[in-house]
Amino acid sequence: MTTPLIRVAEYQRSLHASIVRVWENVRDWEHLPWLHAGSFRSIDLLQEADWGWRARIGLHPQDGPEIELELVIESDRRYVSRTLAGVGAGSEIWTTLVPRGPEHTDVRVEFLLPEVSAQAASRIGADYVALYTRLWDEDEGMIQERTRALARRGEDGPLAPLELGPVEALRDSLPRVVEFGGRRFRIAADGEGLFAHSTVCPHRLGPLAACTREDGALRCPWHGYRFDARSGRQLSPPGRLRLVPAPRVEVVAGNARLVAR
């Protein structure tokens, strides 16, 4: 006999994002332990198809429990997340998406649990609302940045050398983001001198402008993909991606400039 579910809370908000971008985010299981590192520590995909995806997810902190979660797309306006095993097994989270314009989507989330007391329901419901407020805040930021990055694609500009001024003053201002040829690059320094690298991850156009370099590598904050800062070569699996080729930093008579390769 199926245990009846009790609705313990509801959460609603309006996203400044198109429903296309929101659905893209829903299907993107890979970002959970990176964008939402404060809530999830790992994810191991078990199955993925048109119906949605299923995965084992490690909860924060590092010694937190694992759950098995299934996200099923019920229609073009609704999906349900079911906890199949682990903490909260049997619970369901129903999400309804309603487009309100080309760049606005309303979100309604219902949290349902099996066999819970009224007192526990109030507490757990409040925890769910707080968690989903944080998760959607983080998701909306990523969705909006990706929307802006998509809009910038194809806006190639002139490839004339870009003067950067005295090299010592430039070093004092590093890292520094500049626009060259209609694209954004970050100028940095290492033991071999000055160089530039793309500020856009080729995977989902994630932002690399503010990420720190670890042993010469850049790690995308959205999905954890790593790239060699100088060569642009992908260091993490699947290894087929590469950063957009960056211009060269040239120093002439004490002044620096960017020039096309």
CATH number assigned to the domain covering 162-259: 2.102.10.10
Q: In the chain, which stretches have pLDDT less than 70?
A: 1-2, 154-155, 158
Distance between CA atoms of residues 100 and 44, nearest Å: 34
Q: State pLDDT tens for residues 152-196.
A: 876 677 688 999 999 999 999 999 999 998 899 999 998 879 999
- DSSP for 160-196? S-EEEEEHHHHHHT-SEEEEETTEEEEEEEETTEEEE
Distance between CA atoms of residues 84 and 90, nearest Å: 6
Q: Do domains 5-152 and 162-259 have the same CATH topology?
A: no
- What's the pLDDT at 221? 96
- What's the pLDDT at 1? 53
Q: Fold for 5-152, please state it.
A: Alpha-D-Glucose-1,6-Bisphosphate; Chain A, domain 4 (3.30.530)
Domain map (residue ranges) of the chain: 5-152, 162-259
pTM of this structure:
0.90
One-letter amino acid at 251 equals: V
